Amino acid sequence: MKKLVSAILALCLLAALVPGLAEDDITGTWYLNRAKTPGVEMRVISDEIQMTFIFRENGTAELFSVLPGAESRKEDGSWTFADGKITFVNSADGTVTELTYAGGELSLESEGALMILTREQYTPYEQPAAVKAEAIDAFLGTWYPEIHFQFGMMARPDNGMAMEERSKLEIAADRMTETSGTGAVTTYMNPVLDPETGVLNTGFIVQGIEGEARLTLLEDGTMLVCGYTYGIERIRSIYCRLAE
């Protein structure tokens, strides 16, 4: 009887230890989920930006990345794991990338940003349906950014800020200007409403670069502002809400 009880206790202890061991098993595929910079956290919402690590049980590894404006890149290598640190070594040139494992996530620093990877892929952002504006008057007012999209990532940069500190887009009958939180002003020119789509098209010049913006009203009461340069390259998208 004592031997049977001891065996059962041993099995219970082993079962209790298994989840802990499984948490430290970092083999498998890890996906870029979000990035942090001072004061801003951005979440991946499309495959426009990608960073995927695959760690195999045999010690081999793979890194696949897609960055805005660049071709996709695949790197083969090897990996080791010790003291919460993963070391990925590129087989081609010996480049070393170090990642930290904590709380079921991986992280690495890249160009001043902390990149966070998880086992789950990104969740796409579902954009509200567009509303056709019948006249430019529908856009008039002061709009404050709520969500900022850039290069396949989403952020809420103005959360927690006082209204006077936030960026804003002011649209009046004779003037349309955007003022950043730092006070920089961008003036939009020659706004024209597309009668078929209800989209407001306008031009701008920022830092000597000409561009165009397209403003679309959405059914949730927000306005989508998409900025483009050189006629084709989208530089950002912002969801704004009209001030009450």
Show the 3-state SS of 126-195. CCCCEECCCCHHHHCEEEEEEEEEECCEEECCCCCCCHHHCCEEEECCCCEEEECCCCCEEEEEEEEECC
Report the DSSP beta bridge partners of residue 61.
55, 77
Residue 110 has what pLDDT?
83
Q: Tell whether pTM > 0.75.
A: no
Please answer whether residues 45 and 152 qualify as being in contact, where contact means their C-beta atoms are separated by less than 8 angstroms: yes
Kindly report which listed range (51-60, 97-106, 122-131) carries the lowest average pLDDT score: 122-131
| pLDDT above 70: percentage of residues in the chain | 82
Residue 15 has what pLDDT?
30
Looking at this protein, which amino acid is placed at residue 35? A
* Spatial separation of the C-alpha atoms in residues 146 and 143, rounded to whole Å: 9
* Spatial separation of the C-alpha atoms in residues 94 and 11, rounded to whole Å: 44
Kindly report which listed range (52-61, 67-76, 139-148) carries the lowest average pLDDT score: 67-76
Please answer whether residues 26 and 38 qualify as being in contact, where contact means their C-beta atoms are separated by less than 8 angstroms: no
Decide if pLDDT at 3 tops 70: no
Model confidence band, residue 150 (pLDDT cutoffs 50, 70, 90): confident
Q: Is 71 helix (H, G, I), strand (E, B) or coil?
A: coil
* Spatial separation of the C-alpha atoms in residues 119 and 99, rounded to whole Å: 14
Domains of the chain plus CATH, in order, are: 27-118 (2.40.128.280), 130-242 (2.40.128)
Nearest one of 185, 182, 193, 233 to 212, comparing CA atoms: 233
Q: Residue-wise over 41-59: b if at least 16 C-beta within 10 A, else e?
A: bbbbbeeebbbbbebeeee
Residue 164 has what pLDDT?
61
Residue 185 has what pLDDT?
85
Residue 37 has what pLDDT?
83
Cα 85 to the chain's mean position, in Å? 25
